[in-house]
Copies of this chain bind each other. A is one copy, B any other.
Amino acid sequence: MVTIQPHSSERVRHQVSKNDLLAALRHFLPDSAILAQEEQVRAYECDGLSAYRCLPWLVVLPETIEQVQHVLRLCHRLGVPVVARGAGTGLAGGAIPLDNGVLLSLSRFNRILDIDVNNRQARVQPGVRNLAISHAVAPYGLYYAPDPSSQIACSIGGNVAENSGGVHCLKYGLTTHNIQQLQVITMDGEWVTIGGQGLDGPGYDLLALMTGSEGMLGVIVEITVKLLPIPEQAQVILAAFDDVEKAGNAVAAIIAAGLIPAGLEMMDNAAIKAAEDFVHAGYPCDAEAILLCEMDGSAEQVTSDLEQALRVLRRQGASEVRVAESEQQRQQMWAGRKAAFPAVGRISADYYCMDGTIPRRHLAKVLMKIKTFSAHYGLAVANVFHAGDGNLHPLILYDADREGEMQKAEQLGGDILRLSVEVGGTISGEHGVGVEKINHMCFQFQPHELALFHALKRAFDDKGLLNPGKAVPTLHRCAEFGAMHVHDGELPHPEIERF
């Protein structure tokens, strides 16, 4: 476990005492909305990236937009940094708090405000759980498409902040493609409406900019999501391959055939075995790789797409092809995929989940290369990923109690991310950058591109008080990281104080 602090060039320094801040907060927040004792704030010290943590200075739990405005205005005036937090399920440490800052939890913003069936939209507060939206609109035959694996727990506000994806994002897009409007409070307490009810609007399009900005530009206090009609039918194919390369090529062939599966997932042998042991999904444990290919739409469309996909998969050399014969079987086939992360958690003391994205055509090549990295560091890697998107989730297995293994896992992860960039991909697909990959941003972007990001950040947050030390590295950090990591092969997180 690692206590994490922003890089010295990103740390916000202020002279405000905790007591003074508490007194000021009590002017507009009830006592029940302020947590200051260590035992109270302990629950907020980390998010889904549990290897890194930091005890927050103070936690506030506002219930109204006006309270959020008051908190931000106060902190802006005093120069106190603020970290916004949804459900805390993020995997890149985007919601890790600061030891001299306020953690602003949106968990009490948990109401669905309006369901507009005719316009297929719902207005929701940021603390509403992802799956709760689909449950609330199911009586109208509608659902909210993006489905992160954590959808039972993660909040829609966090989904927007991280631009979350999921299995069905190949066909239906990421969070950014499924929202219509945001109400945002900027660090100076101003209320800004972003997006609109129309397909396009005048002015700069800030909706995608805000989505995925990891709490750096503003605090999201309301979201209008787009809803889709529940597809009449969904069917899934399981295809097994005796060779990872063949499976990778089959993915490219399905897309090239003009099919747009609702989901197109791949698991390698290590992931197949772990999942099968855990949930007994009926996976073929001797396969080197399996693909799960789901088609949805009208019954006619699904039938015709399935036939086409089966032809492609056979032509690409699948050793076995199975179509779920019932809804129960379909659910079972997915159960293995959805439980893959915890399944791997059962076979390894710790695992480190990466999130690189690569052009689909390089799938097979990158998987081969990951195998050599794995051998080099002596750490096993299980691969589970959104193959259709080229979004890899290599799970690096390690044991934090073994001296140096966590560092090796980080190095192996860094090598995978660097490889992703080298083949024309990116260091993140859907989990965000947070603190986890902030150093790796230095090899994704050039200094003048990072400078543009900083200028944009200042446009929203002139004092740099929102979530400092996340998502976009300073050039100082990159200079340090570049020197340490790229040239000398040293640890990627030199500024982290280790236990």
Residues on A close to B: CB < 8 A? 117-120, 141, 163, 165, 169-170, 173-174, 176-177, 186, 190, 192-193, 196-209, 211-213, 216-217, 229, 252, 255-256, 258, 297-298, 300-301, 303-305, 357-361, 389-391, 424-430, 432-433, 437, 441, 444-445, 448-449, 452-453, 455-460, 471-472
Contact = CB atoms under 8 A, between A and B. Distances in A.
7 contacts: A118-B256, A165-B199, A186-B452, A198-B358, A202-B433, A300-B300, A458-B459
Nearest to A450: B203
A238 B360 CA distance: 41
A468 to B, nearest CB: 15
A214 to B, nearest CB: 9
**Which secondary structure dominates where chain A touches chain B?**
loop
> Taking the full assembly, how many copies of this chain does it contain?
2
Contacts of A177: 177
Q: By CB atoms of chain B within 10 A, which of A165, A197, A305 has the most?
A: A197
A455 B448 contact: no
Q: Which 4 residue pairs spanning A and B have beta carbons closest together?
A: A198-B357, A300-B300, A455-B459, A208-B208
A117 B204 contact: no
B459 A389 contact: no
Given A118-B360, A199-B391, A256-B118, A205 B193 contact: no
A344 to B, nearest CB: 23
A198 B305 CA distance: 24
Contacts of A300: 298, 300-301, 303-304
Contacts of A229: 258
Instruction: Output the residue of A117, A203, A303, A452 with the most chain B CB within 10 A.
Output: A203
A359 B119 contact: yes
A53 to B, nearest CB: 22
Contacts of A444: 201-203
Given A360-B119, A455-B458, A459-B455, A424 B197 contact: yes
Given A119-B361, A449-B192, A459-B452, A425 B165 contact: no
B198 A120 contact: no
A120 B255 CA distance: 9
Contacts of A449: 192-193, 203
Given A119-B361, A208-B205, A452-B192, A200 B213 contact: no
A212 B212 CA distance: 20
Contacts of A432: 202
A303 B301 CA distance: 11
